[in-house]
Each structure stands twice: as C-alpha cells, then as structure tokens.
Structure 1
C-alpha cells in the first residue's frame, strides 16, 4: 500500500518473481485501494435525501482547517504547504510533527481523534508522496467526517476519487489564492 518513495529497499529485486500485482495503482493486476467510490441508485439517493434533508454540514462545524502529519520527512514536503497556508488561514495541525498530538487532546477532552477532527470544515488530506494514483485514507476519512478534503495530488485519475469532492492545491496559481477560496 506504500508508494515507491516509502519503500526502503529496491522492489526491482522481485522482477520476474511475481506475475500479478496488488497495488493502489490502476495499472496493477488487482487494484487494492484505500477507499472506493460508489454511485447510489435512485432508491439509495432518495433515502439519503430523506436522511440528510437540508443538512448544512458546513454550518454545523465550528472550526476551519485541520490536518494531521506524523511522517515529518516525506517526499511531498507537506509541511511546506502547511506553513504557507498558515500565513493566510488558521490551520490546526495534529500529529507527531506538530505540538498537538490528537491522542493527548482527545483524552483531555474525553473525545476520539475523529470527533475532534470532525469539528473542522476542511481537512488537509495531503499525501506524503506525489505518486500516480496514490490516494490514501486521508481523503476517504475526511469524506466520512463530512469534511471537504484539501489535497496535493498531481497525477490522480478521476476514476479513483469522487469528482468535485475535494480542493486541490495545484488547481490554484498560489497558496494565497487557495486560502482565499477556502475562506470564501
């Protein structure tokens, strides 16, 4: 499930050993994804409308932007994007790379990390590697928490994710433009 940049050995030594692959990429023999999109049929869509009605998830949330990073030296250098964003919008960061460990905060507030993160409208679902088709649980968990994921994807197929369900930092000319969009 890890991209090549997170493998600390040379996978080429396995060339010719296996004739099938199970990986997160679309060109694998078996796609092994972190999450799956699903199109609702008419009945399921009606049930969802009835269940959620006119719920305004955005209005119910009290905080703006959160993220969690524990791998501090990653190929994508996520910390640089976070630092630039924090100049323009409030971003609460959790994880081993920041002074806020969600586990510590959640125990003092008697909540789970998910409950704490669910208070935020946006979640920085930044991947640690910018590899083809690499979409991890960060994106899918943000959707489960009814958040808008902010992603750092450069080479992701729309077949893997839900179209228009995220904000990509690379769709903006600069971080200030992204921050203005998030504020809006």
Structure 2
C-alpha cells in the first residue's frame, strides 16, 4: 500500500515469541487494554518499541518500563523512529497562490476536551474578548462529523491550532489536518517558533508567542483579514511545498522497517521517563 518492502505486520499475539520487533502503544498499556508479555520467552535479538503520540502529561508513571524497551517511536524528532502527525514536502511544481475569498467567519476552534489549567484555555478566554471565535467540538456540545470538519473550518480566515500541552516537537493534527487541509491560516500554540519553522511549511502560520498580548494578536488578525495581499502571503508556501498527513497506523508502523538497518542493535532505555520528559 505504501511501497514499503520487507515488512510484515501482525496483531496476533501468538506470534510474539518469533517476532523481530514488538510494538507496544502506551495508551493501551496505561489504560489496561493491553499488557507486557513479561512471562513469555523473549529472545536476545528481539527489540521492543515504546510507541506514543501523546504529550508527556498524559503518560503517567513510566518507571515500571525501565530496562524493557529498546527503541522509542514518537512525534519527537529525537525518537528512534520518528512518526509525526504530518510533514512538509518540498516540491518543484507550481501552484498559483489563491487565498479563498468570501469567508463567513473570522476565527474558529475545534476542541473536544478543555481544562482550565491549560495554557490554551487562557489564550482562548482572553482572545475571545477581542475577536469573535466560533467554537465547535464535544467541549461545548457542538461536535463535527469527519465529513463536516474541514468544510466548517474552511469558512473562516483563521484556525486556532492550540495544542493541549507545550511539549518538545508536539504538533498534532490540529495544524496538519484541521488548518492546512481546510485551507486556512493557523494561529499556533505549542512548541516554540523555531520548532514550527523546522517542521511546518515556510511562512504558513501565526505564532501566539510573537505577540505581547492577545489584544495585539487580535488586532493583527483583524487587520490581516481585511488586507487580501497580506493575507495571501500566508499561502505562498503552496508554490514550493505540500504537506503529507499520517492517518493509517500500518504506514506508521512500517516506518520501523524503513529505519530498521540504521537502528542501534544493543540500545536499552533504562530511564524512559527521563527521555520522555526531556
């Protein structure tokens, strides 16, 4: 399906003892939906992978896993197997810069779970005092189906791609799918600007940290929405780059095979928590 050869995936636990690599998704371990097969024989050549696409705040206590895992698989660039939510692809084609017109709203935000202590909550509460924000999602009982998600966001000039945690390299589908695939300008909150500049298309986003206050950010957004030429600058990246999103777990997992020959053979994470929270 993805032009990745020499890769065989199985979710049949009966073949664990003969596998070259066994992958454990941390969410299932943490919630008890799966467990480590510590009583089964594990060959010296078998490698275990700790997989997580969640920021550290959701991981809980990792001390119990010390000395068990050989490789990490994560959105972090320093993971053994790097699996981002999306990536920027340079290309030599040419696409005219056409920012959609006749937007019916200024800013939108889709959020399922929101907690008062999150930084993004403070940004939203403050920003909404200055500009209108259309909020969707389970949080305010206005859920959107997959079919309606992108068309709804596309009605707006800007999208609040605010991450629930400010963690190393954590840039989720809020940017790659919700904003970029909907064709709107993302207002981002997450890692610092250099991280976004390294991963996102050039000149494609507005970073909350660039402003001294949300009032200043709001004024910039309003001015930009009424200045078509200035607004179109945020779409110039379409001339030189495209984006790819990762949604199929099979494609993600097969990245192990793509990277297998360069991975450290004798590596062990004796302090997994230290790496995750670094």
* TM > 0.5: yes
Match of 1:145 in 2: 182
- SS state of the match for residue 37, structure 1? strand
Is contact 1:153–1:170 with CA below 8 Å preserved after alignment?
Answer: no
Contact 1:76–1:127 (8 Å) recurs in 2: no
SS at the partner of 1:65? strand
CA distance in 2, matches of 1:163, 1:132: 20
Q: For structure 1, which segment, 17-26 or 152-161, has the greater mean C-alpha deviation from structure 2 after superposition?
A: 152-161
CA contact (8 A) 2:171 2:191 kept: no
Q: Distance in 2 between matches of 1:169 and 1:162?
A: 17
Does residue 76 of structure 1 match 2:123?
no
Alignment of structure 1 residues 2-151 onto 2, 5 Å: 2-7=54-59, 9-41=60-92, 44-45=93-94, 48-49=95-96, 55-57=98-100, 59-73=101-115, 76-103=118-145, 112-141=148-177, 142-151=179-188
User: Deviation digits for residues 113-163 of structure 1, max 9, x if unmatched?
Assistant: 221121111000100000010000000121111100111124362322223
CA distance in 2, matches of 1:168, 1:132: 16
Q: How many residues align?
A: 168
* Greater fraction strand: 2
TM norm structure 1: 0.83
Once the two structures are TM-superposed, the CA of residue 16 in structure 1 deviates from its matched residue by: 1.9
* Structure 2: runs of 5 or more not aligned: 1-52, 224-278
The answer on whether the counterparts of 2:165 and 2:190 sit within 8 Å (CA) in structure 1 is no
Alpha-carbon distance change, 74 to 144 in structure 1, aligned in 2, over 3 angstroms: farther
The higher-RCO structure (CA 8 Å, 6+ apart) is 2
Matched, 1:165 2:204: yes
User: Structure 1: how far apart are the matches of 2:112 and 2:119?
Assistant: 12
Question: Secondary structure of the residue that 2:121 maps to in structure 1?
Answer: helix
SS in 2 for 1:112: helix
